[in-house]
Structure 1
Amino acid sequence: MSEQAVRDALVKWGRSLFERGLTAGSSGNISVKLDDGFLVTPTNSCLGFLEASRISKLAPDGKHVSGAAPTKELPLHFAFYEARPQAKAVVHLHSTYATLLSCLADADPNDAIPPITPYVVMRVGRVPIVPYTKPGSPEVAPYIRDKAPEHAAILLGNHGPVVAGPSLEAAVFAAEELEETAKLVILARGLNVRHLPAEAIADLNASFKLK
């Protein structure tokens, strides 16, 4: 895929996420790894109104090459790419239900999204919660590097979800699946929910291994 095609895809998927209420105002950011660097959504930009020509281009070492200034959340994105070499895109949102889960004191920090549907196992996997850090702070990097090798999705404490994928489309779909499952988890709190059995999870992992 050409760089221009990736820019156009960032505009398309950013608008899709915004129009369906998965990110509000100027919240959220997306990055894509290229052969010669990265494309990153600009700082203080609304994902619903991205302009392909203004998307930030970064060199492999993170130096700003062209476009508008990049999101302040670069430490978060680069930590994911460093710890998860198979990742080609990272999506960070403030979607309502996943963000709410990241704020709940009794959420399981090792797996905040229980395996209640096959698709959350197939597309998202286990989702740990890492401690709160100030948005844009490099202090988030060691937490991400610790979890990302084994987890494609992470909840930032009191902040929201971040998801990596082998393509931009895959990362967006996984972020959507995470939000929808988080909604189910919140709605079902206090109910006697049936989780997928261990053998079903093992079968899904064997058939649809996350990348």
Structure 2
Amino acid sequence: MSDARLREEICRYGRSLFERGLTPGSSGNISLRLDDGGWLVTPTNASLGFLDPARLSRLDAAGALVSGHTPTKEIPLHSAIYETRASARAVVHLHSTHAVALTMLPEIDPRAALPPMTPYYLMRSGQTALVPYYRPGDPAVADAIRGLAGKYSSVLLANHGPVVAGDSLEAAVFATEELEETAKLYLLLRNLNPRYLSPAQVADLVTTFGLDLPFHEDHDHK
């Protein structure tokens, strides 16, 4: 895909996410890793709903700005995902309401922030890790993500929002949307003793669709 087409894709998906209320104001950012190891990334203080393809930040493989506007200050968290997940070609970071709300609940397991509620949550988002709060742009968040050793494609930043990787921009966007909808389901059903997928049902999904999940024995979300 040409550079121009990739830029248009970032803007198109960004606008879609913004128009559906998944990241307000100038929050959120998107990056796409290129074949030469460099990136295209959304600029700092830019609304995902009003991106200009020509103003997207173009970084080289070392993270230096080549062209475009100053990149988002969240570069460290994108970099940490790419460093630890070889399959990651795109990263989406939003401030979506339900996912942020989930991070504030006291019972959330940082190893598995959501229980196995639906097949498509596991198929698209996998399991989700929760990392502690760091101020936006703090390089320490990159260390926290590196500490996950690339086991998770979806990560929640406490009191901040989701960071989701995919093997394409489309996959990362779809996985982010699935994570937000699953967080919404969890909040709707919290304390109602819902029926989650059983270990056997999860194992069937893993076998059928070749899922690579960082399994944990304890999924207590009471």
TM-score tier by shorter-chain length is over 0.9
- What is the aligned partner in structure 2 of residue 188 from structure 1? 189
Give the residue type in structure 2 aligned to 1:163. V
- For 1:206 and 1:139, how far apart are their aligned partners in 2? 36
- For 2:16 and 2:158, how far apart are their aligned partners in 1? 25
Label 1:173 to 1:210 Cα distance change in 2 as closer, same or farther (>3 A): farther
Give the residue type in structure 1 aligned to 2:31. S
Of the structure 1 ranges 69-78 and 126-135, higher mean CA displacement relative to structure 2 is found in 126-135
Unaligned ranges ≥5, structure 2: 213-222
- For 2:146 and 2:202, how far apart are their aligned partners in 1? 25
Q: Is the 8 A contact 2:56 2:69 kept in 1?
A: yes
Q: Is the 8 A contact 2:22 2:97 kept in 1?
A: yes
- What is the aligned partner in structure 2 of residue 2 from structure 1? 2
- For 2:149 and 2:211, how far apart are their aligned partners in 1? 12
- What is the aligned partner in structure 1 of residue 45 from structure 2? 44
- What is the aligned partner in structure 1 of residue 216 from structure 2? none
TM-score w.r.t. structure 1 length? 0.97
Alignment size in residue pairs? 211
- What is the aligned partner in structure 2 of residue 145 from structure 1? 146
- What is the aligned partner in structure 1 of residue 170 from structure 2? 169
- For 1:57 and 1:210, how far apart are their aligned partners in 2? 33
Q: Is the 8 A contact 1:122 1:209 kept in 2?
A: no
Corresponding residue SS for 1:32: strand
Give the residue type in structure 1 aligned to 2:20. R
Matched, 1:77 2:50: no
- For 1:210 and 1:61, how far apart are their aligned partners in 2? 31
- For 1:125 and 1:60, how far apart are their aligned partners in 2? 28
Label 1:52 to 1:137 Cα distance change in 2 as closer, same or farther (>3 A): same
Give the deviation of 1:199 after TM superposition.
1.5
Give the residue type in structure 1 aligned to 2:24. A
- What is the aligned partner in structure 2 of residue 26 from structure 1? 26
- For 1:194 and 1:163, how far apart are their aligned partners in 2? 26
The CA RMSD measured in Å over matched residues stands at 1.1
How far does the alpha carbon of each residue in 1:100-120 deviate from its partner, in whole angstroms, 9 at most, with x for none? 011222212111111111100
Alignment identity in percent?
59
- For 2:78 and 2:210, how far apart are their aligned partners in 1? 22
- What is the aligned partner in structure 1 of residue 120 from structure 2? 119
Give the deviation of 1:207 after TM superposition.
2.5
How far does the alpha carbon of each residue in 1:135-164 deviate from its partner, in whole angstroms, 9 at most, with x for none? 111101111112251111000011111100
Q: How does 1:63-142 map to 2 (within 5 A)?
A: 63-142=64-143
- What is the aligned partner in structure 1 of residue 215 from structure 2? none
How far does the alpha carbon of each residue in 1:189-208 deviate from its partner, in whole angstroms, 9 at most, with x for none? 11011110112111212222
- For 1:207 and 1:10, how far apart are their aligned partners in 2? 31
Q: Is the 8 A contact 2:205 2:211 kept in 1?
A: no
- For 1:51 and 1:210, how far apart are their aligned partners in 2? 36
Matched, 1:156 2:128: no
Give the deviation of 1:59 after TM superposition.
0.2
Label 1:170 to 1:148 Cα distance change in 2 as closer, same or farther (>3 A): farther
